[in-house]
Amino acid sequence: MSRIKNVMLVQPKSTGGNFEYVAIFRQGMLFLSAALKQHKGPFVYDRQIWFEDRCGHLDPDKDLEGVDLLLVSALINEAPRGYELARQAKRFHPNIKTVGGGPHMGPLVEEAIGAGDFDVIVQREGEDVIGPLGDALLSLEGHHLNEALHRIPSISFMEDGHLVRIPRRGTIPADYVELPDYGAVRGLTTRNPMAAGVMETVRGCTEKCTYCEVIQQFLGYRMVKRETEWKRLEQLQQLAADGLIYRSPMDGRFAVFVSDDLHPPTLRATKYRGERMERIKGWHGRTEGMFMMCQTRAELGQDPEMAAMLRQNHMEMLYAGVESSSAENLKAVNKRQDPSQVHKDLVALNSVGFTVVAMTIIGLPYDTEETIMDMAQWVKTVSRYQTANLLTPLPATSNWDLEPLDAEGNLLAPGEMRPYHLYTGKQFVHKDHRWGMAESRAIYDRYYDRLRPVDKLYERLFRQIRARGDGAPVKIINGDAAPLARERVQVRV
């Protein structure tokens, strides 16, 4: 048996038109690849990460030849493609081992194993799991394999025709893996660099909004160590120096998105706010040449000290979770903020010099078509750009219990899989007494047309990047050299 094992990590193509996926790499596969790299076991894992939104479709017959282990992670509208890839992998290569995971498959293990014919599904985080799991799958069979799987936390698998769930107790450190594995990304070269880098500083969230998967995917709120942040900043500086992140031809800066959710915690999160403030101070000298962005709550406008320190350390663009201009809607989704205060906060953030992108959700319980259009007019007065999503049920959220529709807009038949390709935030995919699927799509289009969508800015940017294709820097119109925020912009609906 060869000690070297080939691993393919795949992020399936999205159906949502999410241009951010071309700009930045979602971190899950990068951390899993790094975990396999640092794992000490019987095998050496030779890894390749395939982002379909960047690299194009993977051909399971040709591209998985010689691959021992296939890892697939998917968001909700990527799930059908993820299932297809896993099924075809088994069809063309019967001996390949397949593992699924991510915010969609983790909560829906029965569906994922059945539709994707996966050997194992990993629930929640997997950096501490993937090494021992790979060792077991590639070295054991039969009851010996099952015995080993029973000792690995946070996984699900089939045994004697029954689904087995092994729970996770507790959480792993946010920086169980210090540095994401950019070296394993297929096609990352100076001729085809990233449009932006990403730095993960924390996992989890201090809030409990009902529409968001983050609370279940990353339990608690866990900061990485200060030293890890510095190492990740140094890594991004080196990637840019090596020509693997685009630099603006106008000022030489490169874009960096700081994640995860609520990078600067709110004032009321006193346990974390002071520590984050000290960390931002510690970035001084380490963020030179960066154009930084992050997601935040509007309450940052009430914290002038932190806002000023962020600006001093090259934080330029804020994606602010506005969601709705209705106090009733915000209460219904457990979003602890007041619309009148949000207005004041966004005005304050603009005055400090941030470029504000207001993230909005329509189709909330107290919305009417009139109030939705009114919000479009208001939100443009307090933000330069906007995002728009219709309320969409996601696994592990309370909205998942809303009655699902099929692709034609009728109630989903029992046992039928949901039309996940439509779970893009651009139409209702659940029954609502106000609007059907087609009507909601029309309302979305009218609302979107009244905004200054950040998507349109990046559509132009990415067309330019693809058109050049020669590694030369891309000229960004009006100095707007910032990619769309990471995956939560798409899934947070």
Chunked mean pLDDT (size 10), the chain, 493 residues? 93 72 76 97 97 92 98 94 98 98 93 97 93 98 96 96 92 93 94 90 82 72 92 97 90 88 71 88 95 92 94 95 94 91 97 96 97 97 96 91 97 96 95 97 97 82 61 38 31 26
Q: Identify the CA nearest to 29 among candidates 148, 196, 183.
A: 183
Check: pTM over 0.85? Answer yes or no: yes
Neighbours of 386 (CB within 10 A): 24
pLDDT at 336: 87
Beta partners for residue 202, in sequence order: 223
**Residue 449 contacts by C-beta under 8 Å, 6 or more apart in sequence?**
none
Token digits of residue 80: 């059908």
Amino acid at 319: Y
CA–CA separation, 143 and 146 (whole Å): 5
- H helix and E strand count, the chain: 18, 15
Q: Identify the CA nearest to 272 among candidates 342, 344, 201, 218.
A: 201
The reply to whether 189-491 shares the fold of 4-166 is: no
Q: What does the pLDDT look like over 89-131, one tens digit per residue?
A: 999 999 999 999 998 999 999 999 999 999 999 998 899 999 9
pLDDT at 396: 84
Place of tokens 């030849």: 65
For 4-166, CATH number?
3.40.50.2300
DSSP β-ladder status, 254-259 and 196-200: parallel
For 189-491, CATH number?
3.80.30.20
Token digits of residue 261: 């959710």
The 3-state DSSP class for residue 197 equals strand
CA–CA separation, 469 and 263 (whole Å): 33
pLDDT at 468: 58
What residue spans define the domains of the chain? 4-166, 189-491
- Any idea what DSSP says for residue 479? G
Q: What does the pLDDT look like over 343-392, one tens digit per residue?
A: 999 999 999 999 999 999 999 999 999 999 999 999 999 999 999 999 99
Token digits of residue 205: 């969230």
- Cα–Cα distances (Å) from 223 to 220, 422, 488, in that order, read 10, 34, 18
pLDDT at 413: 97
Cβ proximity of 363 and 390 under 8 Å? yes
Beta partners for residue 222, in sequence order: 203
DSSP 70-104: EEEE--GGGHHHHHHHHHHHHHH-TT-EEEEESTT
The C-alpha angle 486, 127, 155, rounded to 5 degrees, equals: 105
Token digits of residue 367: 């919305």
Cβ proximity of 47 and 181 under 8 Å? yes
